[in-house]
Structure 1
Amino acid sequence: MAAHTLSLSTQTTSTGASYSQHNYRLPNSFPPSLTQILRPQSLQSPWLGTAKLFFQSCSLITPLSKHRPINATVLFSLPTAKPERVSSTEIVPKWSSKAIKSFAMGELEARKLKYPTTGTEALLMGILIEGTNVAAKFLLANGISIFKVREETMKLLGKGDMYYFSPEHPPLTESAQRALDWAVDEKLKSGESGEITPTHLLLGVWSEKESAGHKIMAALGFNEEKAKELETLISKRGSLED
């Protein structure tokens, strides 16, 4: 594309001060009047024109960005370490909206605590922060609140580095990924219709015996008896959430 070339050289002001100017190539798409902007408005402010060009250029570009489409990601499923499920003929149940929100809240909590990964402790906190699901209500009824879980998390894992910036989506730990896959597998084994709920996710966290989430739940009084009670509850309710 043809371009206008504007050559500027070193000049000296009446006071003896000198300043350097360079060659600028302006595309034909710029208004011709912009070639005048580079000329100093006076010898007392030789760079005023260059600064004005910069801001004029920004004003030419900014309106275009307003018309760019907004990229938005909507989650309909959660990460899996078993992608063969998707390609199989078997119908894989979907995660409920509350389960997906619980997962997202867990990621956010991991970022707030300055942790580099999303672990089972974060999934547990996400379920409680979502708050409206059956699993969260069951935990609260048994004295397990988000505040207690945060406190136990700090005791077990310590505080994150205050100067560390977690990624937007902290990667899952291996135990957290297994908890997600356990929830899907258990739903498939049940043969029941419906979606995978936060209750399945909570039991998936409990299934990871050596994980931080399991240890925190155990420290706060959750045990196998309560896990069986929760399993019985969801088998009676199906996949319905309050």
Structure 2
Amino acid sequence: MAARTLSTAPNRIIRLECNHNNPFLPTWNTLGLPRLQNSWLGIIAIKLSINFINVRPFLPKYPPIKATVSFSLPTAKPEPVASTEKMPKWSSKAIKSFAMAELEARKIKSPTTGTEALLLGILIEGTNFASKFLWANGITLLKVREEIVKLRGKPDLYFFSPEHPPLTEDAQRALDWAIDEKIKSGNDGEITTTHLLLGVWMQEESPGYKVLTALGFSNEKSKELHSLISEPEFVD
């Protein structure tokens, strides 16, 4: 790469570069661009190298935030051996709520997915019965977010959660409670977000329970929901 520096005016310098050794770089000949000739300047080959510019180093280096939806939810309970104890399936809305919970855990910069994140996931999914019940009782997404900030404090701006933040013990117990409750009911059908919400409520020392309590959720409302999910025709 040969370079020539010319001074055309005071405080103004033009730097010209010509590459005669790399056949892969386009030149004026291959691009059909005109020659600029001057008795003292010589021939300037005008090159365009837009395709060779890599903009990736100039982009912010933030890890991508994404959620992965699986066909089931993690459980600490073993699969039942007897065919009469078939493990019930989670509803699609419950699975989506869990995926949203993982995403929310990353947004609040939590290293784990806790009961408060499960609560956020239920509300963000929005179409499930549990979220509608919460909204009807004045427990909105904005209020839950505010209570989580009060409980946890503002997150560290430079902390990034793992792609799939692992469940806390409280959150895992909430999922297992939902599975147990569905099995004990003896009803067919799926485990719903309402089961999941009640599972969060049953973890009395968990952040999710504290947020619900601060926003007016009570044992009376829990019993109301429990009576609904006990009905065979209940769906998410």
TM-score (structure 2 length as normaliser): 0.70
Assess, with a 3 A threshold, how the Cα gap between structure 1 residues 216 and 47 changes in structure 2: closer, same or farther.
farther
Structure 2 counterpart of 1:185: 180
2:79 to 77, 85, 107: 85
Unaligned runs of 5+ in 2: 3-17, 27-67
Q: Deviations over 1:120-175 (max 9, x none)?
A: 00000100001111100110111000100000000001122111111111111010
Identity %: 66
Structure 2 counterpart of 1:175: 170
Aligned length: 183
- Name the SS for the 1:236 alignment partner: coil
Once the two structures are TM-superposed, the CA of residue 48 in structure 1 deviates from its matched residue by 4.0
The residue type equivalent to 2:79 in the other structure is: R
Once the two structures are TM-superposed, the CA of residue 87 in structure 1 deviates from its matched residue by 5.2
Structure 2 counterpart of 1:133: 128
2:205 to 201, 206, 210: 210
How many Å separate the matches in 2 of 1:133 and 1:216?
A: 20
1:123 to 100, 118, 122: 118
Structure 2 counterpart of 1:156: 151
Q: Is the 8 A contact 1:197 1:239 kept in 2?
A: no
CA RMSD of aligned residues (A): 2.6
Q: Deviations over 1:152-207 (max 9, x none)?
A: 00000112211111111111101000100000001001111000000000000000
The residue type equivalent to 1:113 in the other structure is: I
Q: Is the 8 A contact 1:195 1:239 kept in 2?
A: no
TM-score (structure 1 length as normaliser): 0.69
How many Å separate the matches in 1 of 2:170 and 2:232?
A: 27
How many Å separate the matches in 2 of 1:223 and 1:184?
A: 22
- Work out whether 1:200 is the aligned partner of 2:195: yes
How many Å separate the matches in 2 of 1:46 and 1:105?
A: 56
Q: Is the 8 A contact 2:104 2:121 kept in 1?
A: yes
Flag the structure with higher helix content.
1
How many Å separate the matches in 2 of 1:140 and 1:220?
A: 11
